[in-house]
């Protein structure tokens, strides 16, 4: 729901939104250099500073939204891989007669709880703007940060499993 605020801001000025140029290349280079969570927002910041109109309220919201979507794609990919692994482990544990709780179910419940946390955290961030125009970018920035952190956490978990 709160991401709708960002969408409304973007629709309010379609010409500015069309001019935005977002690329995740800087974030990917940062991650390749091993900077981890410090890379969240790198590409959005470049979008805001190097795109005409990128520093406007609509431009800022659009750049943050674009990077949030980038992290959301990464999160969904990592979550899917973790679910696949968890289901395989659950099947193996059932075959062994284990009474261990289901990893796949625990992962799903954890992700649902995280989504509730993210939503509440980002509503709070928007509320700090007292209804002002900065609420949309604040919410989008929160989504970007929270989603990026969760994506990196899941990717780290996958990397640990493959060691």
Q: Which residues contact 2 (CB under 8 A, 6 or more apart)?
A: 119, 122, 123, 126, 139, 143
The pLDDT tens digits for 62-77 are 999 999 999 999 999 9
pLDDT at 14: 40
DSSP reduced 3-state for 91: helix
Highest average pLDDT, of 16-20, 131-135, 143-147, comes from 143-147
Position with higher pLDDT, 114 vs 99: 114
Position with higher pLDDT, 12 vs 140: 140
Q: What is the pTM of this model?
A: 0.86
The pLDDT tens digits for 8-24 are 334 343 434 457 889 99
């Amino acid at each position: 729901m709160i991401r709708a605020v960002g969408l409304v801001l973007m629709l309010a000025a379609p010409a500015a939104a069309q001019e935005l140029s977002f690329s995740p290349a800087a974030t990917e280079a940062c991650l390749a250099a091993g900077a981890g969570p410090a890379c969240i927002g790198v590409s959005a910041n470049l979008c805001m500073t190097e795109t005409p109109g990128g520093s406007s309220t609509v431009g800022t919201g659009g750049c943050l939204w674009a990077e949030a979507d980038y992290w959301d794609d990464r999160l969904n990919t990592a979550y899917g891989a973790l679910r696949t692994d968890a289901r395989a482990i659950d099947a193996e544990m059932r075959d062994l007669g284990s009474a261990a709780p289901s990893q796949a179910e625990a992962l799903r419940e954890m992700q649902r709880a995280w989504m509730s946390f993210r939503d509440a955290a980002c509503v709070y961030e928007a509320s700090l703007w007292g209804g002002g125009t900065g609420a949309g970018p604040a919410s989008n920035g929160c989504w970007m940060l929270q989603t990026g952190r969760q994506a990196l956490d899941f990717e780290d978990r996958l990397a640990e499993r493959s060691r």
